[in-house]
């Protein structure tokens, strides 16, 4: 064999050995699991549900709450709703043009009445509901 052919064979063998040699493994760090968002709950002293009552004609639900003025001013109307726990359906706040979305009661400081519309009669007396007012959520409230 000629010297050129032997050199070529040695070079080929070296390249094959280098390609088959164990390679250094790349360590890929595992991503951290996502942290779930905290539930919308504020300290109980900011919002307190005093009364939850359905009207006689079962068309509206009246909720009486105690809330600080600072919390009331920062509320977005979409953050105030009543939810049926069995179906997950949300019931909107009734907006009265002359009174506003959260009516105040003279003589009771920080007490507000919220009226929810029982559209399609989905809510009945005895059902469990969740009241959400801004960041505060009161679950498992019995409708009377």
Domain limits, the chain: 47-142
Q: Answer yes or no: pTM beyond 0.75.
A: no
Chain mean pLDDT for the chain: 76
Predicted pLDDT at 129 = 92
Model confidence pLDDT, tens digit, residues 91-124: 888 776 665 555 555 567 778 888 888 888 888 8
Q: Where does the chain show beta strands of DSSP type E?
A: 47-54, 60-67, 80-84, 90-91, 103-104, 111-117, 128-133, 136-142
Q: Is the pLDDT of residue 143 over 80?
A: yes
Specify the CATH class of 47-142 in words: mainly beta
Q: What is the DSSP string of 52-68?
A: EEE-TTSSEEEEEEEE-
Model confidence pLDDT, tens digit, residues 129-140: 998 887 788 888
3-state percent breakdown (helix, strand, coil) of the chain, nearest 5: 20, 35, 45
Q: Is the dihedral of CA 120, 125, 126, 131 positive or negative?
A: positive
Tokens matching residue 122? 């989905």
Q: Which of the pair, 74 or 94, is modelled with greater confidence?
A: 94
């Amino acid at each position: 064999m000629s010297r050129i052919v032997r050199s070529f064979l040695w070079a080929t063998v070296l390249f094959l050995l280098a390609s088959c040699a164990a390679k250094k493994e790349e360590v890929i760090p595992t991503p951290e699991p996502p942290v779930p968002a905290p539930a919308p709950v504020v300290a109980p002293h900011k919002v307190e549900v005093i009364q939850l009552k359905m009207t006689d004609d079962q068309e509206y639900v009246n909720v009486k709450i105690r809330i600080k003025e600072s919390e009331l001013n920062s509320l977005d109307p979409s953050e105030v709703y009543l939810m049926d726990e069995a179906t997950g359906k949300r019931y909107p706040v009734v907006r009265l043009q002359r009174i506003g979305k959260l009516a105040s009661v003279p003589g009771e400081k920080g007490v507000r009445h919220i009226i929810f519309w029982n559209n399609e009669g989905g809510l009945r007396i005895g059902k469990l509901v969740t009241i959400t007012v801004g960041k505060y959520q009161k679950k498992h409230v019995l409708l009377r």
